[in-house]
Amino acid sequence: MSIVAIVGRPNVGKSTFFNRLIQRREAIVDAISGVTRDRHYGKSDWNGKEFSLIDTGGYVVGSDDIFEAEIDKQVELAIDEADAIIFMVDVESGVTGMDEEVAQLLRKSKKPVFLAVNKVDSANRLHDAVEFYSLGFEKYYPISGINGSGSGDLLDDLVKVL
Ligand code: GDP
Ligand code: MG
């Protein structure tokens, strides 16, 4: 089964989106200690295609305040392990240095990357999302993990590469 990883800095909404998509949780596979403790696995499907979803980061004693180096590690692991990567950013905060760092790591990988601009809860935030073109990806998907808008377009394109 294909593996899809959600990466991005803390608080962009990875876990909210993960929880929206998964139907059932899988056991946490503790393959690499110190890294996998921060990962949650689940199963999802779209248009009849099943895939495993990994939610990275943010499970350190209930805090999302994890080190930059740890995020980089999560991204490297996702690049190794996943067949496709959802790179999540936050329209409320705009582009951050950490987003640029993650983008750089992802652009070097050969894996398909889907840039999800989250927290686009209403149409008036659509134009704010445009600034994320600066991260250097061909396109981005404005989504709201809270109300679900935009996720269909993202998933349509995502399952095509699985
Ligand atoms: P993570 O650290 O990337 O896993 O982010 P979380 O899923 O824990 O979410 C961080 C914060 O952003 C929480 O307060 C969420 O309720 C909020 N959040 C997540 N998705 C959305 C969204 O689509 N819109 C808005 N307005 N807030 C969101
Ligand atoms: Mg989280």
- For the segment 33-76, what is each residue's pLDDT rounded down to a tens digit? 444 455 678 899 999 999 999 988 744 444 445 567 777 888 88
Cα 30 to Cα 14, 36, 82, distances in angstroms: 20, 5, 16
**Average pLDDT over the chain, rounded to whole?**
86
Q: Does the Cβ of 119 fall within 6 Å of ligand 1? A: yes
Residues, beta carbon < 5 Å, ion ligand 2: 14-15, 58
| C-beta of residue 111 within 8 angstroms of C-beta of residue 141 | no
Could you read off the pLDDT of 126-138 as tens digits, one per residue? 999 999 999 999 9
Q: Does the Cβ of 151 fall within 6 Å of ligand 1? A: no
β-bridge partners, 142: 117
Could you read off the pLDDT of 108-158 as tens digits, one per residue? 998 999 999 999 999 999 999 999 999 999 999 999 999 999 999 999 999
ipTM, two decimals: 0.99
**Residues within the annotated binding site for GTP?**
8-15, 55-59, 118-121
Could you read off the pLDDT of 84-99 as tens digits, one per residue? 999 999 999 999 999 9
Candidates 133, 84, 129; CA nearest to 111 is: 84
CA of 13 to the centre of ligand 2 (A): 7
- Considering only CA atoms, which residue is closest to atom 26 of ligand 1? 119
Cα 19 to Cα 26, 54, 66, 94, 146, distances in angstroms: 12, 11, 20, 23, 10
Kindly tell me if the per-residue pLDDT of 161 is higher than 90. Answer: yes
CATH assignment of 2-160, among 3.40.50.300, 3.20.20.370, 3.40.50.970, 3.40.50.720: 3.40.50.300
What's the confidence (pLDDT) of residue 59? 44
CA of 110 to the centre of ligand 1 (A): 28
